[in-house]
Amino acid sequence: MTTTPRNPHSPLFLPKSSFLLFSMASLLSLSLLSFFLFLCLSSAARHQHKPPPTTSPSVIVQNACKATRFPEQCQSSLTKLPPDPTPVQILQSALSVSSENLKTAQSMVKSILDSSVSSINRTTACKVCVEVLRLSDYRIGLANNALPSGRNKDARAWMSAALLYQYDCWSALKYANDTRQVGEAMAFLDSLTRISSNALSMIASYDVTGKDIASWRPPLTERDGFWEGSGSGSGSLAFRGGFPAKVKPDVTVCKDGGNGCYKTVQEAVNAAPDNAGDKKFVIYIKEGVYEETVRVPLEKRNVVFYGDGMGKTVITGSAQADQPGMTTYLSATVAVLGDGFMAKALTIQNTAGPVAHQAVALRSDSDFSVYEECEFVGNQDTLYAHSLRQFYKSCRILGNVDFIFGNSASIFQDCQILVRPRQVKLESGENNAVTAQGRTDPAQTTGFVFMNCLINGTKEYMDLYHSKPQKHKNYLGRPWKEYSRTVFINSFLEELISPTGWLPWGGNFALKTLYYGEYANTGPGSDLSQRVPWSSKVPAEHVSAYSVQNFIQGDAWIPSSLISSLDLS
């Protein structure tokens, strides 16, 4: 066995005293090195800039979604947000989710339409859906573009309409729900309306409460004691505006079609430029009765109808909802989609008759629309003030059942609202409601406001009424939808208005959520002592919430002139 000789210079073989000195030196070196590293790290830590504290996106989303009616669906849908999103980024993300889901709904409707050749009901419902979903997509886009520039009121109005149009599609399919495809589409649309409702609620809260997301809250209504924009100096009720002072025709319509005239109103509308700027395209419609259906499409903005007077220039039709392939929406004699529409000095009527049920004279979906000295004649559903912001001045509206209806934000100023007979047998009685406002969501900026109007009956109806007043009952309105809102201010209510004032739709539906208000009305039908308990007297300090300025922002788009004339030079 061989052994390795010991190396006397190896530390392993140092004497014990030398080994001890070596170990102490090593420990001292390690301690000094550790202390130096500690000083370096401490210095670096002192000079390092810590990132500012951030709020978790989930916390921000939770706070934002507290402003909605469906917070769980809101939180699950807002998944594509940047770190520390701004309020506008949150709102635009919500609109993007609505828009993406809308495209899926459009695809589902197209599939139903393609497979429904043999079904008139389904085909008709889908055609309505195709149009209203296109309108919804357009309004969502406008709302999205308005938010970064601070046009919050516009964004709310446009998103209110977008939500309405989605609901309209669901409602149309409800009457053609005879296949699995239709049922699935309706279920998807129900989810879509919740998503859009959430987006609208957040936009409303942002507009009302500001940028502090933690302060956002669900939408409130007058029934909660909330009036938006009211208070001293916040909008005079004495607004005086209407048609432009002087307008010059671009084209003319006359019965014989001679001397360069168009023979039909529709031909003149077709001649208007698409997607024009702010310039009005004025169509002078000479005296005569024009039997036709008129459509002003979305692309035809700022179209003006100017007639020779109520009862002189008359556009007339007779379509009604009971006809095959027809709906209330489609039955309108005149239907307007293009924004900025104006009409003056003419009559639009539907002559389907009182036994025909829903038969619309005018359907208006035109934002910033003005109707002055116009007459609308029908029976049930005469005026379909369907969506967006509308102003009616010195107009005359005749009908009987729900003859002013829809889900627009409309103000009627200095108008005559007249009930017509609807009995086949004149001795039989009836219940008539002047209005059926259709707000479906508390965040929608919609409702009907009547200022300085006369609520009465035609001479023929009043003769009938006086023969048996107890049988002929008339009401200011009834709630077509859950958050129906209608207000009468400084108006004259004649004796035909029932002492109870308002009519339920059925049972207790909407009685806890509607808002029906009256303020400073006069006349034999204005006594509030016997009104139904679910109607209200508008507090004086809040009546300015319904001014033209506050309710439809009309001071920004309604011409301020008091007298208008047609320049034929």
Checking if the pLDDT of 557 tops 50, the result is yes
Task: Estimate the crossing angle of helix 152-174 against helix 87-114, to 10 degrees.
Answer: 30
Burial (Cβ within 10 Å: 0-12, 13-18, ≥19) of residue 387? buried
Any bridge partners for residue 288, and if so which? Answer: 313
Task: Give the whole-angstrom CA distance, residue 334 versus residue 241.
Answer: 24
CA-nearest of 378, 375, 379, 434 to 402 is 434
Q: SS3 of 39, please? A: helix
What share of the chain has pLDDT > 70, as a percent?
A: 88
Burial (Cβ within 10 Å: 0-12, 13-18, ≥19) of residue 27? exposed
Encode pLDDT of 85-114 as tens digits: 999 999 999 999 999 999 999 999 999 999
Checking if the pLDDT of 120 tops 60, the result is yes
| Mean pLDDT for the stretch of residues 279-306 | 98
pLDDT at 500: 98
Question: Is residue 515 within 8 Å of 532, Cβ to Cβ?
Answer: no
Which H or E run contains 404? strand 404-406
Task: Give the whole-angstrom CA distance, residue 374 versus residue 315.
Answer: 11
Side chain identity at residue 447, one-letter code: G
Question: How many other CB atoms are found less than 10 A from the CB of residue 29?
Answer: 10
pLDDT at 47: 39
Query: Looking at per-residue confidence, does 229 or 205 come out higher?
Result: 205
Which whole-number Å values give the CA distances from 374 to 55, 310, 420, 449, in the listed order? 56, 6, 17, 18
555 among known catalytic residues: no
pLDDT at 522: 98
| Mean pLDDT for the stretch of residues 434-454 | 98
| Mean pLDDT for the stretch of residues 193-218 | 97
pLDDT at 240: 85
Checking if the pLDDT of 303 tops 90, the result is yes
Task: Give the whole-angstrom CA distance, residue 234 versus residue 541.
Answer: 10
| Mean pLDDT for the stretch of residues 3-24 | 36
Burial (Cβ within 10 Å: 0-12, 13-18, ≥19) of residue 35? exposed
pLDDT at 57: 56
Checking if the pLDDT of 37 tops 90, the result is no
Task: Estimate the crossing angle of helix 87-114 against helix 57-65, to 10 degrees.
Answer: 70
Q: Which of 137, 154, 339, 381 is catalytic?
A: 381
What share of the chain has pLDDT > 90, as a percent?
A: 80
| Mean pLDDT for the stretch of residues 352-377 | 96
Encode pLDDT of 206-252 as tens digits: 999 999 999 999 999 999 999 998 764 556 788 888 888 889 999 99
Task: Give the whole-angstrom CA distance, residue 291 versus residue 546.
Answer: 37
Mean pLDDT of the chain: 90
pLDDT at 237: 86
Which whole-number Å values give the CA distances from 190 to 68, 79, 166, in the listed order? 16, 21, 9
Encode pLDDT of 475-533 as tens digits: 999 999 999 999 999 999 999 999 999 999 999 999 999 999 999 999 999 999 999 99
pLDDT at 3: 38
DSSP string, 238-286: -----S-SEE--SEEE-TT--TT-BSSHHHHHHHSPTT--S--EEEEE-
CA-nearest of 81, 162, 80, 168 to 126 is 168
Checking if the pLDDT of 4 tops 60, the result is no
Task: Give the whole-angstrom CA distance, residue 438 versus residue 480.
Answer: 5
pLDDT at 50: 43
pLDDT at 231: 62
Q: Which of 402, 414, 463, 567 is catalytic?
A: 402
Checking if the pLDDT of 163 tops 70, the result is yes
| Mean pLDDT for the stretch of residues 261-289 | 96
pLDDT at 474: 98
Task: Give the whole-angstrom CA distance, residue 501 versus residue 535.
Answer: 8
Checking if the pLDDT of 423 tops 90, the result is no
Task: Give the whole-angstrom CA distance, residue 164 versus residue 468.
Answer: 40
| Mean pLDDT for the stretch of residues 45-70 | 71
Cα 471 vs. chain centroid, distance in angstroms? 37
Encode pLDDT of 391-413 as tens digits: 999 999 999 999 999 999 999 99
pLDDT classification of 566: cutoffs 50, 70, 90: confident
Checking if the pLDDT of 11 tops 70, the result is no
CA-nearest of 304, 328, 443 to 384 is 328
Beta strands in 308-453 (DSSP E): 313-317, 334-336, 342-350, 362-364, 369-377, 383-385, 389-393, 396-399, 404-406, 409-413, 416-419, 430-437, 447-451
pLDDT at 534: 98
Task: Give the whole-angstrom CA distance, residue 333 versus residue 479.
Answer: 25
Q: Model pTM? A: 0.90
pLDDT at 178: 94
pLDDT classification of 17: cutoffs 50, 70, 90: very low
Question: Is residue 485 within 8 Å of 515, Cβ to Cβ?
Answer: yes
| Mean pLDDT for the stretch of residues 262-284 | 95
CA-nearest of 487, 484, 493 to 542 is 487
402 among known catalytic residues: yes
